[in-house]
């Protein structure tokens, strides 16, 4: 019998450690946890660099409750966001194409106007 078996409630081993870890993980994901920290690099009392770190560990449902849903709008992480970006880009290109076609039609219909503006 090793030390883990002689202390069943010990976090180092024993019968309930898997259940305890699962309970802790469930609680963290259900409630969420925030870890914050700042890193500052100074040289002779001159601040050269400041890095602010914020880490949130929560379930997706909890994150959405808190208003955090950036992954849904990032094209690199969401296929729906990528489709929306492509649709937006496609609409912009169609508008530009229509504007170019309309401008070209005006030039062919009114060549005198084009020569007058080019002289100015």
Tens digit of pLDDT at every position of the chain (120 positions): 444 444 455 555 555 666 788 888 888 888 777 788 888 998 888 888 999 888 888 887 887 887 877 777 777 777 776 777 888 899 999 999 998 888 877 766 665 555 555 555
pLDDT at 6: 47
pLDDT at 7: 47
Q: What is the pTM of this model?
A: 0.37
- Structure tokens belonging to residue 9: 């409630």
pLDDT at 93: 93
């Amino acid at each position: 019998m090793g030390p883990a078996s002689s202390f069943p409630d010990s976090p180092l081993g024993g019968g309930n450690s898997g259940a305890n870890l699962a309970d802790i993980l469930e609680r963290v994901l259900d409630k969420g946890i925030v870890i914050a920290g700042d890193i500052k690099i100074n040289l002779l009392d001159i601040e050269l660099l400041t890095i602010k770190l914020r880490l949130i560990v929560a379930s997706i449902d909890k994150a959405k409750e808190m208003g955090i849903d950036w992954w849904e709008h990032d094209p690199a992480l969401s296929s729906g966001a990528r489709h929306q970006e492509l649709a937006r880009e496609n609409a912009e290109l169609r508008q530009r194409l229509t504007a170019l076609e309309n401008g070209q039609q005006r030039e062919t219909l009114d060549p005198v106007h084009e020569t007058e503006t080019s002289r100015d």
